Amino acid sequence: MSAAHPAGFEPGVLTDPVALTRALVDIESVSGNEAEITDAVEAALRGAGHLSVRRAGNTLLARTGLGRERRVVLAGHLDTVPVADNLPSTVDGDLMYGCGTSDMKSGSAIALWLALTKPAPRYDVSYFFYDCEEIDASRNGLRRIAQDHPEWLAADFAILLEPTYGLVEAGCQGTMRVIVATTGRRAHAARSWLGENAIHAAGEALRRLADYQARRVTIDGCEYREGLNAVRISGGVAGNVIPDACEIEVNFRFAPDRSLAQAEEHLREVFDGFALTVVDSAPGALPGLDAPPAREFLAAVGQPPAAKLGWTDVARFAGLGIPALNYGPGDPNVAHARDERVELQKIRDGARTLADWLG
């Protein structure tokens, strides 16, 4: 986007999902700084004429009102992780490089392109463009909408345009972080027998993690691989003090057949005998592939679905009883990387598939 168009897009950009991707990427929108990009997207949506547009903070809803039998959601977040010397975008052959190209401005660009160029889809469509997905869940735009305007989310089916490299990734894993704590008794290091070393006591918890055998669970033909890992450890007082406290932060990624309560119960079994505190959690989402729009979308994609190994906002829709899946052109393996990139053909293919499905 040029400086001459600070609140909108250059002529011709809105009719080309590749050009629109680049225009979105070139508006820096690190989480918490989405006002400029939201203003530009809002102006484009309000200029379409066939959409009802609502805004809450830096989250937008644009919806058709055609009286169709079913309503579907297409949603994408507008924020990115911090820039890593990778703006403005560049194009080299069939690759576009830049912060957010994969996660997930290419997917959001497709949703915006569809909203603007497909005025009469065979489903009524609610398009969401939201903020603060990449940071603390309490600031997530969809979370705020679910809390303040749950009626905005009402639908029969939802697609999150998260990076999946053009495949359908069904549902998502749940996630839980806990602190496993050990205690001891301080003493001078020269008289260690007078103390109890809390760091040494953590060895048993680490051994249990090293020996842990994670489940593989197949649900609706999609295999979810669980994982239990230490992600941070802290302890120690000084170089001459036997430590009296140590904490291991553990992350549990669990299959969506477990509830949050079941996930916590499992962790308490694994770490029986240790003090354990849950510090963050989010439920998973079952695949939801039986909904008629989902079956029709799978047929349009023409490839079998895979499990989503990670957490996405499909869980928010699942929590409301709305089946949802992930589908987007970006490659999740390069999301957040300094050389983050997206294949131009993946953008075109994704746009064509979704346009064909919407009819």
Please list the active-site residues: 79, 133
Q: Which two tokens stand for residue 318?
A: 């699942």
Which residue's entry shows tokens 């918890």? Answer: 205
Which residue's entry shows tokens 């020269």? Answer: 190
Query: Cβ-count burial of 242 within 10 angstroms (0-12 exposed, 13-18 middle, 19+ buried)?
Result: buried
Q: Which two tokens stand for residue 31?
A: 């989480």
C-alpha span between 242 and 236 (Å, rounded): 7
C-alpha span between 55 and 44 (Å, rounded): 13
